[in-house]
Amino acid sequence: MYQDLKQRFMWTKMKIEIARCVTKCDTYQRVKVVHLKTAGPLHPLLVPSWKWDDISMDFIVGLPNTSKGFDSIWAIVDRLT
């Protein structure tokens, strides 16, 4: 932004004011490109050798109440099956 504006305009503390304006701009913050290195190649997960060998569990809470008054679900995931 500064490089584009300095070709046509110049004022005292111009660079600081442009930087302040850009950091407060909601539109700029939403569309700016993040300059980060890529994460690198992905490594595949090991395949479990038997069912129920690698499982994960979680509770999903805060759901609307059922007719019996329940408001949560117990989710179990088996990676092999």
For the whole prediction, is pTM greater than 0.95? no
Predicted confidence (pLDDT) at residue 1 exceeds the cutoff of 90: no
Summary count for the chain: helices (H), strands (E): 3, 2
DSSP assignment letter at 54: S
| Chain centroid offset of residue 35 CA | 15
Contact 71, 49 (CB under 8 A): no
pLDDT tens, position by position, 12-63? 999 999 888 888 888 877 777 677 677 788 888 888 888 888 889 999 999 9
